[in-house]
Amino acid sequence: MKRSGTISSFAKQAIHGAAIITENSAPTIEATNHRIDILLRPLRRINFMDFTSAFGEESSIKRSNHNKLSDSLGSKFRATVGFSSRALERLRGMEVHINTLCNVWKDQDTGSFMLRRIECFREKSGAHHEYLIAKITTDIDSLEDANGLWLRLERRPKTLDGMREYVSGFVGKFEAHDLVTIARRREDLLHREDESLEFRASMTFPGNVSLSYILEILRVIHEESPTYHIVGAHCWFFASVIIESLMSHGVWDDGQIAWYDHWKSKNYINREQYRAITNRIKQLNPYQLN
């Protein structure tokens, strides 16, 4: 049974404004693909690290080309980009650290891409890792893969040698590796061992919640919570704060995240960071153009 959330008056105004988009004015697939290519082009130029891309063979960057890079963007972010040490054979997408994505896309037209859907997943085995998959598109009427991008949003610990500290004999602290993996198909962002994956809930967004707003949320979370704690500021906390920030702008169409919300991590264990994050997010405009 579908359950509807409460949409804020701010969101209702955006829905009304979005109604001016007609069938004739909606972007074509070709136009959308061109805008996507422009959005992704700076990321493809940062080619100091091998990664697997779902955008075609030409997008697979080889480390051997490192010295051939002449674009200033690559050298600017070479020292700050973080890629996960996790093997990418399980995912087919472009994986980028949140800091890098926000820096690279700060001058891009992210305001023309809108959030259409977000899904919550949890792995059934191991540490029960949780992550989100979001759909963004320039076409308000389409959820088809051909008309946009899928983003996987997650927090993992960065466990390079020498990075680990111990707060106590039982609780580990790591540098937070907050990642966005970008693909054209939703399936490319799910683990291939689908039987160990639990779909938890999903929400659609009828208004114009911009990609710019999503990036600002991610940036705020990482700035206020830069460290991964096994108890507290972990993947559950990361996903839960993102969902809470978006709830008033969307409608639940499958499940309810409130059934799984990690309120103890936010309100007790990690209370100070949670308050700092929410106070900053309240100052953001969900419908900002850039």
Q: In the chain, what are the domain boundaries? A: 9-281
Rg (CA), the chain: 19
What are φ and ψ of residue 42, in 5° steps? -60, -35
Q: What pLDDT was estimated at residue 46?
A: 72
Q: What pLDDT was estimated at residue 255?
A: 76
Q: Measured between alpha carbons, how far is 223 from 211 in angstroms, rounded to an integer?
A: 18
Q: What pLDDT was estimated at residue 143?
A: 52
Q: What pLDDT was estimated at residue 208?
A: 86
Name the helix (H) or strand (E) containing 199. Answer: strand 197-204
Q: What pLDDT was estimated at residue 43?
A: 87
List 207's β-bridge partners, or say none.
none
Q: What pLDDT was estimated at residue 147?
A: 72
Q: What pLDDT was estimated at residue 125?
A: 77
Q: What pLDDT was estimated at residue 281?
A: 94
Strands 172-183 and 227-229: antiparallel
Average pLDDT for consecutive 10-residue bins of the chain (290 residues)?
48 46 55 86 66 39 33 34 37 86 91 93 83 87 67 84 40 81 90 71 91 96 88 84 92 75 69 91 83
Q: Measured between alpha carbons, how far is 205 from 274 in angstroms, rounded to an integer?
A: 24
Q: What pLDDT was estimated at residue 224?
A: 94
